[in-house]
Amino acid sequence: MPIVYYLYLSLALFCIGIVGVLTRRNAIIIFMCIEIMLNAVNLLLVAFSKMHPPKAGIDGQLFVFFIMVVAAAEVSVGLAIIVMMYRRIHSVDVNFLNRLKH
Amino acid sequence: MNALLLSALMGVVMMFSGIVLKSKAAIRNIAIAGMLALLLVNILEMNGTVFLVIDSKGMIGFDRFALLFNSIIFFSTFLYLTLSARDMEKVGVNYAEYLALIFFILCGIALVSSFRSLIILFLGIEIISIPLYILTGSDKLNLKSNEASLKYFLLGSFSTGLMLMGIALIYGAKGTFYTSGINMVNGAISPLLIAGMLLLMFSMAFKVSVAPFHFWTPDVYDGAPTVFTSFMATIVKAGVFIAFIRLFDEGFASQQPKWKLIIAILTAATLLIGNITAVFQQSVKRMLAYSSIAQAGFMLLSVYAMSPDSKEGLILYAAAYCMATIGIFAVLIKMSDYTFDGFNGFAKQQPLLAAVTTIFLLSLAGIPLTAGFMAKFYMIKAAMYNSGLLWLPILALVMAAVSVSYYFRVIQAMYFRESSTPSTLTVTPAFRYTLVALAALVVLLGIFPNLLLAWLYF
């Protein structure tokens, strides 16, 4: 399969993620959409690493592992923050965040 | 390399010291001693003494610029800890962990200051960001702090997603993560490279709060505990700026015609929005948040000019900005009222503290004989010499004049207004002496900037 198919697929996933982040109001769903964005990048990196010659190709696959590890660290911190928030106001709706403006 | 390893080690040491040691003073002393060791090791490396070399396959390279920048960062953190470490006790119970997170952030800054590969850039930015999300929300009982933390986390990881997409597209175009390989021109320029460069630029702009990506900054800085706002607004911001300039200096120098105008527009927008919004703020903490956006605009001039001059300028600017802002925040933390009225009659109650605060504010506004003036001078000089756009340095000058109005409001409140309530401020003599030394340093750098810049070459 040509590389552009992978490119389109991962860009489509990435855009779904971005639209989700911008439109949804639930913190957990926003968080899921961010994960979709990261996984779209993983897919793209793996596709590109098959496209490039073997020596350069390994780098891309290596990077995917870095992204996975960092994303896991981010999830643990992020869920802790969301839980902390939920304990205070019993909601994970980000409309609450508007209160900070004043 | 020494400082990188030692800072990670110190982070772990601090985490365990929280379990083993019961006395907060002992934990604080370990942190300050660790900070001094970090500074010492870094300066030794600048003079050629390297204790441990790890083969990073050329992904990390500590040159003189990175080492000097790290020294400034470590020195500022040392001052920050001596001035404000006591106030961290009031935030929450996990005192040792806060200090551990600060050491991990320093490790991240050491990584982004020396990256040669986008893998390290990504790792460094994340090692800086993830502890910051925690520090922002560390005041668990305060709803404002919780909200700031959630907001920072969601927007921060969103911008990380953009950054990763940018890196992936660049990898697709060039087949390498090394900045030297990305900079090489072979054949036609791929649209993937340009798209990736723009995404990287926007995500970095987000991390250093450049307009129009600045909207999270006032809320997060306002909501976070003031001790940690001080750290975020100074040391972290300067640390990410070196990544910014290094990325565009080493990675995208050959694409300069493509990004120069975009950076110029971002700079102009940041200067305008930061300075003009700061004028209308009622709270000094929020005013300092907007002022940090405005100062980011000045630092962005160095990315725009991209010359040896501008690198000198960034070094000086980072030092001047960090020292002055840490000083002001150290005083602000002690106040009970963060509005401008809270400073009324401060000069009568605490003449010495009012005098040093005035010096810091003058430095931020860029009045001659302070470090801030020299820093702004170097930046605008670099932008004048290396650009076809004359309006940008002129706009920067006008905005520097605007910034005087809001910095002087604090001075006016301190010296020319009467206080209605008696002062409840208590400070230790050590705090006073450190603050006076800091003010002396700000003035010294304003008269002899070469004391600092000479380190870049010898």
Substitution target from B125, B132, B139, B160 for chain A, most A beta carbons within 10 A = B160
Among A41, A74, A81, the residue with its CB nearest the CB of B150 is A81
Is-cis flag, bond preceding B212, omega within 30? yes
Chain A residue numbers with beta carbons less than 8 Å from the beta carbon of B124 are: none
Yes or no, beta carbons of B149 and A81 under 8 Å apart:
yes
Block residue for tokens 């309006």? B391
Beta bridge mates, B178: B117
Single-letter residue type at B126: E
Chain B residue numbers with beta carbons less than 8 Å from the beta carbon of A82 are: 150
Tokens of B66: 């990175």
Number of H helices, E strands in chain A: 3, 0
Substitution target from B143, B153, B199 for chain A, most A beta carbons within 10 A = B153
Q: What is the ipTM of this complex?
A: 0.94
Report d(CA A20, CA B361) in Å as an integer: 43
User: What would the pLDDT profile of B228-271 be if each residue is shown by its tens digit?
Assistant: 999 999 999 999 999 999 999 998 988 888 899 999 999 999 99
Tell me what pLDDT residue A101 has: 56
User: What would the pLDDT profile of B85-139 be if each residue is shown by its tens digit?
Assistant: 888 888 888 889 999 999 999 999 999 999 999 999 999 999 999 999 999 999 8
What residues of chain A score a pLDDT lower than 50? none
Tokens of A102: 């004043």
Report d(CA B183, CA B240) in Å as an integer: 21
Yes or no, beta carbons of B154 and A21 under 8 Å apart:
yes
Which has the minimum average pLDDT: B50-54, B253-257, B351-355? Answer: B50-54
Q: Counting beta carbons within 10 angstroms of the beta carbon of residue B257, is it exposed (0 to 12), middle (13 to 18) or buried (19 or more)?
A: exposed
Tell me what pLDDT residue B247 has: 93
B170 Cβ contact partners less than 8 Å away, ≥ 6 residues apart? B118, B182, B192, B193, B196, B197, B200
Q: What is the mean pLDDT of chain B?
A: 91
pLDDT band at B54 (very low <50, low <70, confident <90, very high): confident
Local structure of residue B114 (DSSP, 8 states): T
Best CA proximity match to B364, nearest among B413, B394, B399, B414: B399
Tell me what pLDDT residue B387 has: 67
Yes or no, beta carbons of A41 and B168 under 8 Å apart:
yes
Is B222 an interface residue toward A (CB < 8 Å)? yes
Tell me what pLDDT residue B426 has: 78
* Fold classified for A3-101: Helix Hairpins (1.10.287)
Chain A residue numbers with beta carbons less than 8 Å from the beta carbon of B219 are: 97, 100-101
Report d(CA B378, CA B384) in Å as an integer: 10
Beta bridge mates, A93: A26
Tokens of B174: 């060039």
Among B157, B164, B223, the residue with its CB nearest the CB of A78 is B157
Tokens of B125: 């930015």
Block residue for tokens 């380190």? B455
Yes or no, beta carbons of A17 and B161 under 8 Å apart:
yes
Minimum distance, in Å, between the CA of residue A72 and any CA atom of chain B: 11
Yes or no, beta carbons of A48 and B168 under 8 Å apart:
yes
**C-alpha gyration radius of chain A:** 17
Which has the minimum average pLDDT: A54-58, B155-159, B365-369? Answer: A54-58
Window 53-82 of A, Cβ < 8 Å to B: 53, 56, 59-60, 62-63, 66-67, 70, 73-74, 77-78, 81-82
Record the pTM. Answer: 0.94
Beta bridge mates, B115: B60
Block residue for tokens 């004359």? B390
Yes or no, beta carbons of A30 and B172 under 8 Å apart:
no
Yes or no, beta carbons of B137 and A84 under 8 Å apart:
yes
Residue B211 pLDDT greater than 60, yes or no: yes
Instruction: Spell B27-53 as b/e; 16+ CB within 10 A means b.
Output: bbebbbebbebbbebbbebbeeeeeee
Domain count, chain B: 1
> Mean of the pLDDT values across residues B178-192?
87
Window 3-42 of A, Cβ < 8 Å to B: 3, 7, 14, 17-18, 21, 27, 30-31, 34, 37-38, 40-41
Among B133, B151, B168, the residue with its CB nearest the CB of A77 is B133
8 Å CB contact between A75 and B157: no
Yes or no, beta carbons of B150 and A77 under 8 Å apart:
no
Torsion angle in degrees (nearest 10) through CA of B124, B125, B130, B135: 100
Dihedral sign, Cα of residue A88, residue A91, residue A94, residue A95 = negative
Chain A residue numbers with beta carbons less than 8 Å from the beta carbon of B153 are: 77-78, 81
Is B190 an interface residue toward A (CB < 8 Å)? no
Minimum distance, in Å, between the CA of residue A95 and any CA atom of chain B: 11
Q: Phi and psi of B283, rounded to 5°?
A: -105, 135
Tell me what pLDDT residue B454 has: 84
> Mean of the pLDDT values across residues B163-177?
93
Dihedral sign, Cα of residue B324, residue B330, residue B333, residue B335 = negative
Tell me what pLDDT residue A53 has: 83
Tell me what pLDDT residue B289 has: 93
Report d(CA B35, CA B31) in Å as an integer: 6
Report d(CA B380, CA B158) in Å as an integer: 33
Among B130, B146, B219, the residue with its CB nearest the CB of A85 is B146
Yes or no, beta carbons of B168 and A7 under 8 Å apart:
no
Q: Where are the domains of chain A?
A: 3-101
Residue B161 pLDDT greater than 60, yes or no: yes
Yes or no, beta carbons of A34 and B161 under 8 Å apart:
yes
Residue B208 belongs to what domain range? 2-456
Yes or no, beta carbons of A38 and B177 under 8 Å apart:
no
Among A67, A70, A97, the residue with its CB nearest the CB of B151 is A97
Report d(CA B185, CA B26) in Å as an integer: 55
User: What would the pLDDT profile of B285-321 be if each residue is shown by its tens digit?
Assistant: 999 999 999 999 999 999 998 888 888 899 999 999 9
User: What would the pLDDT profile of B413-434 be if each residue is shown by its tens digit?
Assistant: 899 988 777 666 778 888 999 9
8 Å CB contact between A88 and A30: no
8 Å CB contact between B27 and B88: no
Question: What percent of chain B stands above pLDDT 90?
Answer: 67
8 Å CB contact between B275 and B399: yes
8 Å CB contact between B123 and B65: no
- Per the document, the length of chain B is 458
Chain B residue numbers with beta carbons less than 8 Å from the beta carbon of A56 are: 175-176
